[in-house]
Amino acid sequence: DIQMTQSPSSLSASVGERVTITCRASQDITNFVAWFQQKPGKAPKSLIYAASSLQDGVPSKFSGSGFGTDFTLTVNNLQPEDFATYYCQQYSTYPHTFGQGTKLEI
């Protein structure tokens, strides 16, 4: 199975700042990476697919990059509603494994 390793596992930031979360795959997955945001008690929300394409309705403050094994999610101009847990997922090969999550805190 492909392992997805996210870092950091937790992150503290302030309103207005920019943060970057990293996800590393255990083997080449080209650009088959998605990113999700999850708030406590809620279902995940899809943010990005194909490493860098925004899902419909997702604001451009979210951006993704990477190819092969190393991927990043960047969130610009943090607002209170952005503080949540973020997950990456590879969908190159079954099982479609998730990273362990990054909790973004104020």
List the one residue from 45, 52, 63, 76 that touches other proteins (CB under 8 A). Answer: 45
Q: How far is the CB of 39 from other proteins (least distance, A)?
A: 12
Q: Which stretch binds other proteins (CB under 8 A): 17-25, 66-74, 76-84, 88-96?
A: 88-96
3-state secondary structure the chain: CCCEEEECCEEECCCCCCEEEEEEECCCCCCCEEEEEECCCCCCEEEEECCCEECCCCCCCEEEEEECCEEEEEECCCCHHHCCEEEEEECCCCCCCECCCEEEEC
List the one residue from 13, 22, 52, 91 that touches other proteins (CB under 8 A). Answer: 91
Q: Which residues bind other proteins (CB under 8 A)?
A: 1, 33-34, 36, 38, 43-46, 48-50, 53, 55-56, 87, 89, 91, 94-101
